[in-house]
Structure 1
Amino acid sequence: MGQDVEAREFTGEDRARYRAKVRRNLDVLAAMLGQQDFSVPDPHVGIEIEFNLVDDSGDPALRNSETLDAIATEDFQTELGQFNVEINVPPAPVAGRGLADMAERMREDLNVAQGKAQSVGTGLMMIGILPTLDAPHLTRESISANPRYHLLSDQILTARGEDIHLVINGVERLRTTIDTIIAEAACTSTQLHLQVEPEDFAPTWNAAQAIAGVQIAVGANSPFFLGKRLWHETRIALFEQATDTRTDELKAQGVRPRVWFGERWITSVFDLFEENSRYFPALLPIVEDEDPVAEIEAGRIPVLPELRLHNGTIWRWNRPIYDVVDGKPHLRVENRLLPAGPTVKDTVANAALFYGLVTALTEQERPVWSQLSFKAAEEGFHEAAAAGIEAQAYWPGIGTVPVRELVLRHLLPLAHVGLERRGVDGAVIDEFLTIIERRCVTGRNGSTWMTEQFDRIHERGSDVFDSMRALTRRYAEHMHSNEPVHSWPVD
């Protein structure tokens, strides 16, 4: 969830200084985009995956500190909830066997981490929302010890001036109130990173926005929350509400949400950072000593800490990232909308679809976003989150069709071309895109498997939460087998 900060209180002077510093960072970034070398001779991709921790019964295990001590590697880090950890897969080239090598490393790391976690009585679950989460797990006491998380929760609740109201209408209806942002910890995700040059950022981001609905429909893996069946990808609605700083009155006035799809296609990465500054007040107004102008004048590359920290408190589904690596600036698109899981193979298949599609779409003579309204893309995204793999989708030149048909007939061939353009080996392309194909042919992704398996268990007479525990244990068995979810049996 971003960089560490110390617990503290903020004054009006802090906020004014921070606002001015963010704007100074923006001015420097604008100049850098035209003057500095952001070139990407060997594009890298990266993956972050958030996990839930469970005990032997399948219930949440609020023991991330002990679990991380047992795993003892910097690749695994803390997250918002005590029942969460995160793995950061080191960036690597996508060409050749890059995706396959990444899958092998992720699987090995998960196996090792799982063995060490079991030594302290926990297990790792790669899933969008843990079915066994219940109201007692969503309290302030469940937030991780890192001061950043408590500070961020306090700042969001202070900005709202009231508790957070969660209302999700799906197959069933959820309505509840919480007094922290801990419900965000229920939303465990996969984050895909793609390094791009400045001139390629806007078309890549636009392409990512255009395919967001397709991604979420095919990859849905979060049908349950607090014992209720809601959306196929309930994470989307839950995350948007769990960190919302707006009261009903502010929503009615058109104030933007901090978990945001956006509102327009862009022409530059600068558009997004400028919107962040213009629309969103600071949550963590911490001013560092760096003078970005002095850094540039001295021939160094500024870190722009205030701009980066502010960007980290605005949760766009496709987020711009500015970073400095080995003394050189670079830009990334961070695709944040997918759930974790169900398996490593499924995760890398989702990544292959994303990297292939955005590559192919950015090379078209008439871009898809020039033929698609931004509002239609946003509506399609939320409709896909609700309906999952059986959603309908609008695509320019084709019209409104089932997502499964759109992917099979039109988008998989495009993704194949895009991965070829990136130099991915043919066997690797076939291995991972075939997983997406089989999901669409069978109609089975993580969400549909979970709902069918839950119904089968519940029909045998167990109550809801005992059925959720049995479902979670069965899911864990399949997850660790690493067989793609389309092949999982319902029993």
Structure 2
Amino acid sequence: MGQDVDPREFSREDRTRYRRKVRRCLDAFASMLSDHDFSVAAPQIGIEVEFNLVDALGMPALRNAEALEQIADDDFQTELGLFNLEVNVPPVPIAGRGLATIADTLRDDLTHAERKASEVDAHLMMIGILPTLTADHFSADVISANPRYHLLSEQILAARGEDIEIEIDGVDRLATTTDTIIPEAACTSTQLHLQVEPDEFGAAWNAAQAVAGVQLAVGANSPFLLGRQLWHETRIALFEQATDTRSEELKTQGVRPRVWFGERWITSVFDLFEENSKYFPALLPVVEDEDPVEELAAGRVPTLGELKLHNGTVYRWNRPIYDVAEGRPHLRIENRLLPAGPTVVDTLANAAFFYGLVKALVVADRPVWSQLSFQAAEENFHAAARTGIETDLYWPGVGTVPARELVVRHLLPLAWAGLESSDVESPVAEELLGIIEQRCLRGRNGATWMIEAFERHPDRHTDRLTAMRDLTVEYQQNMLGGQPVHLWS
């Protein structure tokens, strides 16, 4: 959800003070990277999943406050839209049955939340973009009550100086404008957290960037928006545009977007936080009382509040995270590019594939990013967002090949080796990576299933909303059934 802030207005002085404080946080962070212990005895993983809420007919249910009251579980929180919720699964070590433990927890959370939310006619959906969203759901009164969201919307629109334009060309074409960031609420994601030590962070982040296109190809689950069939993972284009602070003139000048793939391989986590402070002005310049340098001098671990808040308003697809737990600092990679769903087991299969691949690439004799240009990695990413599992991707030593072939013949063995070296139990790895293999062999992920379901609907040409409602209801029944998407009829 991000860090809460109180409703307020910001002055020019607030922004100046905040910039100075972020730089002071950077100084403290640089010192900590040299002197503090960030060691990880047993690397932990965690997952956040965003949900849509729908009514019995598959239409968005604007009832997240009522649903949360019924669910009564602190692991569930609001998200940007009134039709959104988020669950945070507590972190666990990846070794042994860690991935299976997360799957069990997430499954129990979903079952409990679905049962309780249904009492207020709200049902949970793990899906990248809800097919039944209409233009009526892209208005300011659909933003959740949390002041953070309203402040973010106001600040992004103020920085931009004009309404946000959204244009996406796919099978159909979408062109619309909005005076809030509420279209971002349509982008419901899975966020994978990976705890990393400082000396491995650069390699792990580079590896995560290198495999981003492959992740999207096999995990795409967002083909429809506002009644149009667009990209297989439309979330990517929508999120990039819905929070863009740049006018057309600033884009022409080459100003960097806040939703950002990046532009280079890195050597240290410091590179990413430094880029954030150099390239992006503050959106929420809230200054705290803590002086991070004085905290260090006193032998305490600073929270680096301003640095963390600023980092939370730069939407990298692989975001660096600094946090403090039980008085100890740690670093994480937050992998933010995957959609939610289609099922719990599909979500954990995506996670196993990511964690295994990153681990294998980090320990490889020759880093893949020394053989792959950063531009090629970004081109893979956007190509996979457009065409999903049938995308041709470039990979060093292999060339440009279909994503399905690249995964089955080259990357699944790497992911298996990475999970094995992380001491993941073999039955757990076999089950989860087997799902990725079957998706590729059958050519079916969430996006292709939805496209096929829509194409066979008798009313798809005459009554698209009815077709989308029926598709959504069928999807939700399959999701609750729990079978991986490659087995859906």
- Asked if 1:34 is matched to 2:34, the reply is yes
Q: Distance in 1 between matches of 2:461 and 2:170?
A: 24
When residues 460 and 25 of structure 1 are mapped into structure 2, their CA distance, relative to the original with a 3 A threshold, is closer
**What is the CA-CA distance between 1:462 and the residue it aligns to?**
5.6
* 8 Å contact kept, 2:454–2:460: no
Residues 15-36 of structure 1: per-residue CA shift (max 9 Å, x gap)? 0000000000000000000100
* 8 Å contact kept, 2:167–2:173: yes
* 8 Å contact kept, 2:219–2:350: yes
Residues 185-241 of structure 1: per-residue CA shift (max 9 Å, x gap)? 000000000001000100000000000000001000000000000000000000000
Q: How does 1:37-52 map to 2 (within 5 A)?
A: 37-52=37-52
| Structure 2 segments unaligned to the other structure (5+ residues) | none
SS state of the match for residue 366, structure 2? coil
Q: Distance in 2 between matches of 1:371 and 1:6?
A: 47
Which of 309-318 and 92-101 deviates more?
92-101
The aligned counterpart of 2:450 is: 450
Residues 255-285 of structure 1: per-residue CA shift (max 9 Å, x gap)? 0000000000000000000000000000000
**What is the CA-CA distance between 1:298 and the residue it aligns to?**
1.1
SS state of the match for residue 201, structure 2? helix
Q: How does 1:71-470 map to 2 (within 5 A)?
A: 71-458=71-458, 463-470=463-470
Q: Distance in 2 between matches of 1:361 and 1:119?
A: 47
One-letter amino acid matched to 2:16: A
Residues 371-428 of structure 1: per-residue CA shift (max 9 Å, x gap)? 0000110011000000100000000001000000000000000000000000000000
Q: Distance in 2 between matches of 1:459 and 1:52?
A: 24
Structure 1 stretches of at least 4 aligned residues deviating more than 6 Å after TM superposition: none
Q: TM-score, normalised by structure 1?
A: 0.99
**What is the CA-CA distance between 1:461 and the residue it aligns to?**
6.8
One-letter amino acid matched to 1:164: I
* 8 Å contact kept, 1:216–1:337: yes
**What is the CA-CA distance between 1:75 and the residue it aligns to?**
0.6
* 8 Å contact kept, 2:207–2:369: yes
| Structure 1 segments unaligned to the other structure (5+ residues) | none
Q: Distance in 2 between matches of 1:103 and 1:152?
A: 33
* 8 Å contact kept, 2:459–2:466: no
**What is the CA-CA distance between 1:101 and the residue it aligns to?**
1.3
**What is the CA-CA distance between 1:458 and the residue it aligns to?**
3.8
Q: Distance in 2 between matches of 1:300 and 1:439?
A: 49
The RMSD of aligned alpha carbons is 0.7
**What is the CA-CA distance between 1:293 and the residue it aligns to?**
1.1
The aligned counterpart of 1:4 is: 4
Q: Distance in 1 between matches of 2:10 and 2:370?
A: 43
The aligned counterpart of 2:55 is: 55
* 8 Å contact kept, 1:190–1:337: yes
Residues 69-120 of structure 1: per-residue CA shift (max 9 Å, x gap)? 0000001000000000000000001111111111011101110110000011
> Aligned pair count?
489
One-letter amino acid matched to 2:293: V
Q: Distance in 2 between matches of 1:262 and 1:194?
A: 19
* 8 Å contact kept, 1:458–1:464: no
SS state of the match for residue 352, structure 2? helix
**What is the CA-CA distance between 1:457 and the residue it aligns to?**
1.3
Residues 43-85 of structure 1: per-residue CA shift (max 9 Å, x gap)? 1000000000000110000110000000000010000000000
One-letter amino acid matched to 1:47: I
SS state of the match for residue 457, structure 1? coil
SS state of the match for residue 175, structure 1? strand
Which of 92-101 and 275-284 deviates more?
92-101
Q: Distance in 1 between matches of 2:18 and 2:104?
A: 43
SS state of the match for residue 165, structure 2? strand
SS state of the match for residue 275, structure 2? helix
When residues 461 and 278 of structure 1 are mapped into structure 2, their CA distance, relative to the original with a 3 A threshold, is closer
One-letter amino acid matched to 2:70: A
Q: Distance in 1 between matches of 2:71 and 2:403?
A: 40
Q: Distance in 1 between matches of 2:131 and 2:42?
A: 41
* 8 Å contact kept, 1:319–1:336: yes
* 8 Å contact kept, 2:189–2:337: yes
SS state of the match for residue 168, structure 1? strand
Q: How does 1:14-33 map to 2 (within 5 A)?
A: 14-33=14-33
Q: Distance in 2 between matches of 1:118 and 1:462?
A: 31
